[in-house]
Structure formats: structure tokens, C-alpha cells
């Protein structure tokens, strides 16, 4: 499906979707790791559209019934939606670099309007299906998938002027191993397809990806990959905001993205939650660079 040989990169140095500082440096870490040069070596024309300017005020503390930094997150994602929309209209592959995972609200809002049935692969240790009623923290980076399904605060849900952005039957979550009770209930209620670490261990990554591609290929007209580096085990990717032990290996993730490249179904992507403050010599950004390269077609031979 993806015949585009042009990539436009947008950095979103935002850490307002939660209270832990550092993921705002993710886009810089990825550029420093040589992401752009690696994509160019794969034969793509790359435009680095730079970073959105994030107006930061004092971080709002979490309070019961309150979303952390709601107005700021809405503002940034509204701007991102407009930018991604323009990139897609130009026929270019959008690659968005976070920032925390709340940036996928703007990413998908700018992308989904161009498809009748956008599919989404959510590669993450967390389903990110919380709402203000179920979230233990009020952090919006734990809510973007719910928002994209049309569930959540109206100012988030309606970014881009339409909702929902995606349908539950067009979604696959891969790598989940930290699921809140409210998220579990929503998964069961909506019939969302989830491959937890239990399924990955039992089936193997090859089967998981074959089933994922088959599940999405016939009923979607585009597929967005949202790659949260905490989906990878922190042994390989230590520099993430919310690490969870027992995750997907580095090699399994390479295989997953190589298989997506072979299936030729990915039409856009975001890469999020790299926190250089918690990293070891930029290891996680280097891992992410290698993984994105696999997604875009890099092979050993």
C-alpha cells in the first residue's frame, strides 16, 4: 500500500501529557542517533519539518477529576493535526517524533480524515485507554487511544473537528502488559484485538504479525503505526517514561517491523516516549532509529 518514497518528519517535544520531565528531548535524541541520515540511505527523500514550539507553563498538579495540562495538550495536538493534515495532502509519509504518547491524538487526527477506515497498530506496554473516570493519575498520555476512539474529554475527542478517528474493529494492540481495570473493561466492551505478552510468548511474534496483517489488510485503506518504545523490554530500551519489565525483545520488534514493511500496509507512523534523561548513552534512541529503519524497508541482505 505504501508506495511513497518521501518522508516528512515532525518533532513534537512535549512532555505535558504526564508529570515526568525528559520525553520532550525525544525528537532531538532521535536526530542525534542519525535517524534522518539512515532514512536517506534507504532511498527516501526526507524533509525535516522541525519541531513544534511548545509553550510551557507551570505543570498543573494532578487532582481528582482533573486532566493534567489539558489546555496545553489540546493546543499542541490541534497544531500537530493541522501540520500532519498538510503533509498527507502533499502525498508524503508522515513520521511524527514524540514527546509523550498524547501526541498521537494530533497525529491520528491529521491522518484519519484521509481514510474511510484507518487501521491502527498500537505497539505499547500500555493500552492507553483510560479516561478521566478511570485514570489513576489524570495523565493524558495514558488516554490517547481512548480519545481516538471518541471516548474522553470533548476538547480532546473533537480535535480536527470530527470524532471518532478510528473504529475499535480496526485496531490492534501489541505488547500490552500493564492494563488498568477500566482499560480492561473497555477492551472487552469494544471487542478490541489485543496481543498481550502472554499471546506473544505463546504464539511467537511471527504468528502475531501474520494475524495482525491479515486482520487489518482487507478492511482498512491505510494503517498507522504508533510505536511506543516502552513496548520493547527496558533491557533493550531503558530510556522511556514508564518502563515495564517483561516486554518484547529487540529482535522480536525488528521482526515485527520487518514483516510490516514486507506487508506494505503502513501509511504513517509516530515514535514516542523516549526519555534521554533515563537512558544510557542514547541507547533507546539508537534502538528506535534501527526499528524505524526496519519499518521503512531496511534489510540485512
Q: Is 301 within a domain?
A: no
107: in domain: yes
Quick check: 155 and 161 in contact, CB under 8 A?
Answer: no
DSSP string computed for 180-232: -HHHHHHHHHHT-EEEEHHHHHHH-HHHHHHHHHHHHHTT-SEEEEEEEGGGB
In a domain, 19, yes or no: yes
Residue 93 lies in a domain: yes
Torsion of Cα atoms, 264 then 26 then 232 then 118, to 10°: -40
Domain of residue 279: give its range: 6-295
Mean pLDDT, residues 201-213 taken together: 98
Q: What is the dihedral of CA 32, 35, 40, 43, to 10 degrees?
A: 170
Give 88-114 pLDDT, tens digit per residue.
999 999 999 999 999 999 999 999 999
Q: Kindly state the cell numbers that stand for 123.
A: 505497539
Does residue 1 surpass a pLDDT of 90? no
- Read off the pTM: 0.96
Lowest mean pLDDT across 15-24, 28-37, 220-229: 15-24
Specify the pLDDT at position 301. 73
Least confident interval from 60-74, 115-129, 270-284: 60-74
Report, as residue numbers or ranges, the catalytic residues.
101, 124, 126, 128, 141, 228, 230, 273
Q: What is the arithmetic mean of pLDDT over 179-203? A: 98
Distances (CA, A) of 33 to 45, 154, 200, 283, 288: 18, 37, 29, 9, 9
> Could you tell me the pLDDT band of residue 169, with boundaries at 50, 70 and 90?
very high
User: What is the reported pLDDT for 2?
Assistant: 45
Nearest to 118 by CA among 186, 191, 168: 168
Query: Residue 24 sits in a domain of what CATH number?
Result: 3.40.800.10
Residue 142 domain flag: yes
Task: Give 25-80 pLDDT, tens digit per residue.
Answer: 999 999 999 999 999 999 999 999 999 999 866 555 545 558 999 999 999 999 99
The three cell numbers locating residue 84: 500532519
> Residue 141: inside a domain, yes or no?
yes
Let me know if residue 282 belongs to a domain: yes
Percent of the chain predicted with pLDDT > 90: 90
Would you state the cell numbers that stand for residue 23, as one nine-digit string? 520525553
Return the pLDDT at 19.
80
Q: Is there a domain that residue 1 lies in?
A: no
CA distances from 250 to 13, 197, 238, 255, 256 (A): 25, 14, 12, 9, 10
Yes or no: say if 164 and 150 are a contact pair by the CB < 8 Å rule. Answer: yes
Count of domains in the chain? 1
Amino acid at each position: 500500500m505504501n508506495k511513497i518514497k518521501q518522508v516528512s518528519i515532525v518533532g513534537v517535544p512535549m512532555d505535558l501529557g504526564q508529570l515526568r520531565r525528559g520525553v520532550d528531548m525525544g525528537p532531538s535524541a532521535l536526530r542525534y542517533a542519525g535517524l534522518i541520515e539512515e532514512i536517506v540511505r534507504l532511498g527516501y527523500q526526507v524533509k525535516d519539518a522541525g519541531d513544534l514550539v511548545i509553550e510551557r507553563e507551570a505543570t498543573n498538579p494532578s487532582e481528582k477529576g482533573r486532566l493534567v495540562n489539558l489546555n496545553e495538550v489540546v493546543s499542541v495536538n490541534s497544531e500537530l493535526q493541522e501540520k500532519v493534515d498538510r503533509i498527507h495532502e502533499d502525498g508524503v509519509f508522515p513520521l511524527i517524533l514524540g514527546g509523550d504518547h498524547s501526541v498521537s491524538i494530533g497525529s491520528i487526527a491529521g491522518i484519519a480524515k484521509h481514510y474511510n477506515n484507518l487501521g491502527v497498530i498500537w505497539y505499547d506496554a500500555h493500552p492507553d485507554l483510560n479516561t478521566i473516570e478511570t485514570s489513576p493519575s489524570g495523565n493524558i498520555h495514558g488516554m490517547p487511544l481512548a480519545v481516538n476512539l471518541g471516548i474522553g474529554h470533548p476538547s480532546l475527542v473533537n480535535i480536527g473537528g470530527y470524532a471518532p478517528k478510528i473504529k475499535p474493529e480496526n485496531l490492534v494492540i501489541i505488547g500490552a502488559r500493564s492494563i488498568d481495570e477500566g482499560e480492561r473493561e473497555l477492551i472487552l466492551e469494544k471487542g478490541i484485538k489485543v496481543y498481550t505478552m502472554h499471546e506473544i510468548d505463546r504464539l511467537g511474534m511471527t504468528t502475531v504479525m501474520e494475524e495482525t496483517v491479515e486482520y487489518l489488510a482487507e478492511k482498512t485503506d491505510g494503517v498507522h503505526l504508533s510505536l511506543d518504545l516502552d513496548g520493547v523490554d527496558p533491557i533493550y530500551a531503558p530510556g522511556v517514561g514508564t518502563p515495564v519489565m517483561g516486554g518484547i525483545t529487540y529482535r522480536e520488534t525488528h521482526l515485527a517491523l520487518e514483516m510490516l514493511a514486507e506487508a506494505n500496509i503502513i501509511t504513517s507512523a509516530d515514535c514516542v516516549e523516549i526519555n534521554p534523561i533515563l537512558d544510557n548513552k542514547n541507547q533507546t534512541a539508537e534502538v528506535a532509529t534501527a526499528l524505524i529503519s526496519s519499518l521503512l524497508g531496511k534489510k540485512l541482505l
